[in-house]
Amino acid sequence: MNRQKAKRLQHTRRKKRVRGRIFGTPQRPRLSVHRSLRHLYGQIIDDVRGVTLVSASTRDKEFGGKLATGGNKQAASEVGKLLATRAVAAGIRQVAFDRGGAKFHGRVKAFAEAIREGGVSF
């Protein structure tokens, strides 16, 4: 097995393990994060109803030309702040964090810290 396939397999295993333990309820919805090479996406999801309550990403209109790139820690922090303000406005204060198979490091960590600073706990 080449290195690229092995890394993808590890990512898939982490993702399945995390999703097996985390489930979003109306009282404590799931905060899902997805990162690609160029962008970062965050959603707060109620898994009971199967509905996305709040979302934000580096592709939102609020960022326009403000960000140099959507794939760095600064952009992740900005998306986290935006998602936190939207969540607080929607009355969401507690979430279950789903890192989506990514390691809690770098952009994912910056995103999580910005959400915590914005008033959402997990």
**Helix 107-117 with 73-89: angle, nearest 10 deg:** 30
Residue listed under structure tokens 């403000």? 66
**What are the C-alpha distances in Å from 114 to residues 2, 31, 94, 104?**
36, 13, 14, 14
From first to last of its 122 residues, the chain has per-residue pLDDT tens of 799 999 999 989 988 988 888 888 899 999 999 999 999 999 999 999 999 999 999 999 988 778 888 889 999 999 999 999 999 999 999 999 999 888 899 999 999 999 999 999 99
CATH number at residue 44: 3.30.420.100
Q: Give me the number of domains the chain comprises.
A: 1
Residue 122, domain member (yes or no): no
Residue 65, domain member (yes or no): yes
The parent domain of residue 113 ranges over: 3-117
